[in-house]
Amino acid sequence: MGIEGIGARVARKEDKRFITGAGRYVDDMVVPGMKHAAFVRSPHAHAQIKKIDVKKAQAMPGVIGVLTGKELKADGIGNLICGWMIHSKDGSPMKMGAWSPLAVDKVRYVGDAIVIVVAETKGQARDAAEAVEITYKELKAVVDATKALQKGAPQVHAEAEDNLIFDWEIGDAKATDAAIKAAAHVTRMKIVNNRLVPNAMEPRAALGHYDKAEDHFTCWTTSQNPHVARLVMSAFYNVAPENKLRVIAPDVGGGFGSKIYIYPEEIVCLWASKKTGVPVKWVADRTESFLTDAHGRDHVSTVEMAFDKNNRITGFKVDTIANLGAYMSLFSSCVPTYLYATLLSGQYNIPTIHANVRTVYTNTAPVDAYRGAGRPEATYLLERTMETAARELGVSPAELRRTNFITTFPHQTPVIMNYDAGDYGASLDAATKASDYAGFAKRKTAAAKQGKLRGIGMSCYIEACGIAPSAAVGSLGAGVGLWESAEVRVNAVGTIEVLTGSHSHGQGHETTFAQLVNQRFGVPIDSVSIVHGDTDKVQMGMGTYGSRSGAVGMSAIAKALDKVEAKAKKIAAHLLEADEGDIVIENGEVKVAGTDKSLPWFQVALAAYTAHNLPAGMEPGLKETAFYDPANFTFPAGCYICEVEIDPETGTTEIVQFVAADDFGNIINPMIVEGQVHGGIAQGIGQALLEGAHYDASGQLLTASYMDYTMPRAGDLPSFKVSTSNTPCPSNPLGIKGCGEAGAIGSPPAVINAITDAIGIVDIAMPASPSTVWAAIRAAK
Amino acid sequence: MYAVNYHRAASVADAAKLMKSGDAKLLSGGMTLIPAMKTRLAAPSDLVDLSRIKDLQGVKVSGKTVTIGAATTHHDVANDEKLRKACPALAHLASLIGDPAVRHKGTIGGSVANNDPAADYPAALLALGATIVTNKREIAAAKFFTGLFETALKDGEIITAVSFTAPARAAYEKFRNPASRYAIVGVFVAKGKDGVSVAVTGAGDEGVFRSKEIEAALAKNFAASALEGLKVPAKNLMTDIHASAEYRASLIAVMAKRAVAAASA
């Protein structure tokens, strides 16, 4: 390991501009002649639009255009789509209702966009938006997915009878039922996974610019995957053909999944720019973020886990209702299916699994992937059930898990996944040791003397990152491939640009990707630039989500580096009059192994570009492209242990210890990995203790600001004890697994297991706020 | 925010005159008004800024009498050495308001005039039997706080100071809303020459109120143990997504107990 190579704790290159306020986000972009947009949004959760009168608004000061959905439709702009086809168990395709970028006849959730107003200033656009007169006929709303499925519930879309989008299953129902029937013990639970608001620090934004002379569009947008945005906006929304549309995502201030999807606003800003003849910028305010960013989670499940007399799991049966909100967001259908039910085997040998999933429309914000996406929901079911089963069976939760661990690899689960590597016992050992799991009883007694309820909870999670291979996901219904691309451009003086299809929204790619290059060629990371986020600069790529940029994105870079290395060695061999096989690259020197013959790296690069003396027939230049399609998912895993103390008088939970022992495969930058784990755990603790989106029965979001939606703060969190014990991933060239989501996946059940242990109850709703905990303590008495 | 005319008042008399223009509102720290204007929930035509009037700033302690200028920031209340000696409970209360930015801008007069049902100062003033001094008259705290965001202030009337007699013992305990960090329940306990008084903020469906049950228990014995097992009725307490009336009732007893313990320490 060099000081900047793989495994080095290099400070993040990009942080200098972020910390000094020099980052460049969409809202920092200024285009000559640019004007500002405001959207008129539905104040009702469910209503017919009877009339839209824009006359008064058009006459307001500074107004350039007031545009409606009717005009948008007349110009042929398409509906938003969900890009992953799921079929119900009866073979019928999912029932997708139409989602017009601007609502025409009906609004389906509070925040649904109806009209765009373009004006000279943001304030004028808002003033005029208030002057748009819309006549509604209010309809009854439904916000709860279980209620939405009942006969006679308000119908969100005519296309989906009883609001049922699909009724899907995976696994073997008959075998699982038989296992439950024959079981020595069955643990049964009803488990709710609470709805969350993503709350990226940077709100969503879009700047649409139509260039009349070139008949060309440019869209600056807050996107985790600008190429996918361009593809979808071209292929489905008819904004412009791909060659006439450039999508740029500059610095992106957090996303957690919410910036994967294409939203109405970017489409409408592009269209409005052509319509009004001016560049149009829209930046969400925080209320719009709460109301319209795709939310996460919102599952209700029942589970049955069967055990034999030796406490081995013999079957696992799951029935889930997933709330997808008012419209099907871009990847909403795959989250509660292939990103969820395929993880229901967890770290355990389970001979048979069956999961049934019904997805449902309601009059709430669309729900899509949010940090972990399906995997937190699966882990929550499994790990809550395992802990409960251990209590029912009277065995140690750690030992029940160990009894059931998968210990040989590769391991084929009954739900598609083929685990390639792991050592779950090692993580469990590390976590139990770091948390002094064995000494808990003493600490509980000491806490009781102080009038506190102390509890401990564990969670052994597995996740699947780097969804792949493309052929497999295509066969499961995905509308896209899930490979990644890279281009490595060595300049004539040896500095390097890496063009990657991944796109950072806070992950530190500019540092870690440069470390990979440094490892290969010894070039200082300051001489390596990472280029991303611009469809005009970078070849087609798939973007950043699902913890894929290390395992998939960096593997593509590694492949391109292989090609560059091979060519550089050929050139060096020629110049040094040596055999190609004897050339090695070390610390910025290209050497003939075992001799003192060498060339500095930059001279090989220069030779490639002067082309004065290249091997016969070789093309000049040193630049290579690679596309990498992984052979399999990668499977990070780990064990989290949470210890809490509860003040029974107020219901306040203090996390007194949190231990994370993860297996992430090979690690490029341990500091960045730890940062990802810390952030993930903070979000997981947020879900367990603090965060919850709450709609009232009429469909108004009651938690639409930080006055009512509790974000985790530093004071809510302990100092985490994190460690890794790594088994390299055999499925990609770098042995990387992915660490972006693990914390958010593994931590909620550990926290809730600890709280239920402290109180001595089976279950408690998330977020386990002080009032919820207080009520649970009172009910348990 | 809608367009608004801004006036910086040079004196209280000047402010009173300026208040006659249009639909004017007084601006002190602006910690409630400005966010409401930014989200377009409030739209005054004119703002009359009191925050630069020197006469309205500062804490005076004369014998047992404490007078705090209306435009004194929470930070200055929290850190005033004289007040920390005369009534440390009130200085402590001010240190618990909002965050450092809020405490450096927000003022006691603004908080009292706004009478947010979850604000901290109303509990203190009610329990201390304070007097709210305006440019027109003096109003007893018991008559001043009349309901949710409602006070006895007349249109254009300006609070200039609050004053009270320092209690022998006092303490404030607050249980915060996890999201907003305002009080879900805040209890101010004061023991003075007129006996024990206990005021509760954050919980009442008509704003700040005095808890007769707790006062009765403490009148006999000013000790935390006197409140063991005491049940506060949930009637007339708020229920919202953060806390039920029953939970608030329980917290009132718990916070009162802790406040008495702190006051006795």
Residues A602-639: pLDDT tens digits?
Answer: 999 999 999 999 999 999 999 999 999 999 999 999 99
User: SS3 for A310?
Assistant: coil
Which residues, other chains included, contact A507 with Cβ-Cβ below 8 Å and sequence gap of 6+?
Answer: A544, A549, A672, A676, A740
Q: Residue B237 has which token pair? A: 């307490």
Domain boundary among A292, A316, A351: A292
Whole-number pLDDT of residue B193: 87
Query: Which residue in the set B1, B179, B247 is minimally distant from A710, CB to CB?
Result: B179
Whole-number pLDDT of residue A480: 87
Domain boundary among A273, A292, A311: A292
Q: Nearest chain A residue to B179 by CA: give it.
A: A710
Tell me which residue range forms the domain holding A350: 299-467+632-780
Q: Is the pLDDT of residue A753 over 70?
A: yes
The reply to whether A323 and A441 lie within a common domain is yes
CB contacts under 8 A, B 22-81 vs A, are: 39-40
Is there a cis peptide before residue A767, judged by omega within 30 degrees of 0?
yes
Q: How far is B99 from chain A (nearest CA, A)?
A: 13
Please give the angle made by the CA atoms of A627, A631 and A634, to the nearest 5 degrees.
105
Whole-number pLDDT of residue A72: 98
Q: Is the pLDDT of residue A2 over 80?
A: no
The reply to whether A615 and A684 lie within a common domain is no
> What are the CA-CA distances from residue A103 to residues A155, A262, B62, B202 (Å)?
16, 16, 66, 41
The reply to whether A576 and A694 lie within a common domain is no
Is A125 part of a structural domain of the chain? yes
User: SS3 for A595?
Assistant: coil
How many C-beta neighbours within 10 Å does residue A648 have?
Answer: 17
Q: Is the pLDDT of residue A416 over 60?
A: yes
Q: State whether residue B16 sits within 8 Å of chain A by CB.
A: no
> What are the CA-CA distances from residue A472 to residues A149, A242, A417, A462, A489 (Å)?
32, 26, 11, 20, 31
> What are the CA-CA distances from residue B263 to residues A647, B123, B125, B202, B254 (Å)?
21, 15, 16, 21, 14
Q: How far apart are the C-alpha atoms of B89 and B188, rounded to whole Å?
A: 8
Kindly give the pairing relationship between strand A164-171 and strand A353-361.
antiparallel
Q: How far is A650 from chain B (nearest CA, A)?
A: 6
Whole-number pLDDT of residue A634: 94
For chains A and B, CB pairs below 8 A equal: 41
The reply to whether A689 and A713 lie within a common domain is yes
How many C-beta neighbours within 10 Å does residue B80 have?
Answer: 22
Contacts B40 to A, Cβ<8 Å: 126, 130
CATH number reported for the structural domain that contains residue A616 in this entry: 3.30.365.10
CATH number reported for the structural domain that contains residue A86 in this entry: 3.90.1170.50
Question: Is the Cβ pair B254, A287 closer than 8 Å?
Answer: no
User: SS3 for A690?
Assistant: helix
Q: Is the pLDDT of residue A1 over 70?
A: no
Residues A502-515: tens digit of each pLDDT: 999 999 999 999 99
Instruction: Look up tokens 């930059």; give the residue.
Output: A602
Whole-number pLDDT of residue B22: 86
Interface of A with B (CB under 8 A): 123, 126-127, 130, 287, 649-651, 690, 694, 702-703, 706-711, 769-771, 774-775
The reply to whether A103 and A208 lie within a common domain is yes
The reply to whether A418 and A305 lie within a common domain is yes
Question: Is the Cβ pair A650, B175 closer than 8 Å?
Answer: yes
Half-sphere exposure of residue A286, counting CA atoms within 13 Å on the CB side? 11
Q: How far apart are the C-alpha atoms of A342 and A632, rounded to whole Å?
A: 14
Which residues, other chains included, contact B169 with Cβ-Cβ below 8 Å and sequence gap of 6+?
Answer: B189, B190, B191, B222, B263, B264
**Residue-by-residue DSSP string for A529-554:** EEE-SBTTTS-----S-TT-IIIIII
Is A733 part of a structural domain of the chain? yes
The reply to whether A578 and A668 lie within a common domain is no
Q: What is the 3-class SS of chain B, one letter each residue?
A: CCCCEEEECCCHHHHHHHCCCCCEEEECCCCCHHHHHHCCCCCCCEEEECCCCHHHCCEEEECCEEEEECCCEHHHHHHCHHHHHHCHHHHHHHHCCCCHHHHHHCEHHHHHHHCCCCCCHHHHHHHHCCEEEECCCEEEHHHHEEECCEECCCCCCCEEEEEEECCCEEEEEEEECCCCCCEEEEEEEEEECCEEEEEEECCECCCCEECHHHHHHHHHCCCHHHHCCCCCCCCCECCCCCCCHHHHHHHHHHHHHHHHHHHHC
Q: Residue A85 has which token pair? A: 């086809």
Question: Is the Cβ pair B179, A703 closer than 8 Å?
Answer: yes
Residues A186-234: tens digit of each pLDDT: 999 999 999 999 999 999 999 999 999 999 999 999 999 999 999 999 9
Q: Are A434 and A657 in contact (CB under 8 A)?
A: no
Which of B182, B227, B240, B254 should we substitute to test contact with A (largest number of A Cβ atoms within 10 Å)? B254
Q: How far apart are the C-alpha atoms of A450 and A348, rounded to whole Å?
A: 38
Question: Is the Cβ pair B254, A649 closer than 8 Å?
Answer: yes
Query: Which residue in the set B1, B2, B178 is minimally distant from A770, CB to CB?
Result: B178
Is A503 part of a structural domain of the chain? yes
Q: State whether residue B231 sits within 8 Å of chain A by CB.
A: no
Question: Is the Cβ pair A649, B241 closer than 8 Å?
Answer: no
Whole-number pLDDT of residue A479: 86
Single-letter code of the amino acid located at A456:
I
The reply to whether A642 and A615 lie within a common domain is no
Q: Is the pLDDT of residue A181 over 90?
A: yes
Whole-number pLDDT of residue B222: 96
The reply to whether A313 and A446 lie within a common domain is yes
Mean pLDDT of all residues in A155-181: 98
Is A194 part of a structural domain of the chain? no
Is A396 part of a structural domain of the chain? yes
Report if pTM > 0.80: yes
The reply to whether A439 and A496 lie within a common domain is no
Q: State whether residue B2 sits within 8 Å of chain A by CB.
A: yes
Number of domains in chain A: 3
Query: Which residue in the set A287, A690, A771 is minimally distant from B243, CB to CB?
Result: A771
Domains and CATH numbers, chain B: 5-49 (3.30.43.10), 57-165 (3.30.465.10), 169-264 (3.30.390.50)
Which residues, other chains included, contact A748 with Cβ-Cβ below 8 Å and sequence gap of 6+?
Answer: A376, A379, A380, A459, A684, A685, A687, A688, A766
Q: Kindly give the confidence (pLDDT) of every residue in chain B, 265 residues in length, as a single tens digit, with 9 standing for 90 and above.
A: 899 999 999 999 999 999 998 899 999 999 999 999 999 999 999 999 999 999 999 999 999 999 999 999 999 999 999 999 999 999 999 999 999 999 999 999 999 999 999 999 999 999 999 999 999 999 999 999 999 999 999 998 999 999 999 999 999 999 999 999 999 999 999 999 889 999 999 999 999 999 999 999 999 999 999 999 999 999 999 999 999 999 999 999 999 999 999 998 8
The reply to whether A556 and A655 lie within a common domain is no
Is A1 part of a structural domain of the chain? no
Is A572 part of a structural domain of the chain? yes
Whole-number pLDDT of residue A536: 97
Q: State whether residue B180 sits within 8 Å of chain A by CB.
A: yes
Least confident of A166-180, A346-360, A471-485, B251-265: A471-485
Whole-number pLDDT of residue B21: 82
Whole-number pLDDT of residue A587: 84
Contacts A127 to B, Cβ<8 Å: 2
Distance of CA A1 to the CA centre of its chain: 31
Alpha helices in A450-508 (DSSP H): 470-475
Q: State whether residue B133 sits within 8 Å of chain A by CB.
A: no
Whole-number pLDDT of residue A24: 97
Q: State whether residue B222 sits within 8 Å of chain A by CB.
A: no
Instruction: For residue A187, give the H/E element and its range.
Output: strand A185-193
Whole-number pLDDT of residue A588: 87
Question: Is the Cβ pair B178, A710 closer than 8 Å?
Answer: yes
Is A576 part of a structural domain of the chain? yes
Closest-CA residue to A359 (of A303, A295, A299): A299
Whole-number pLDDT of residue B194: 86
The reply to whether A287 and A432 lie within a common domain is no
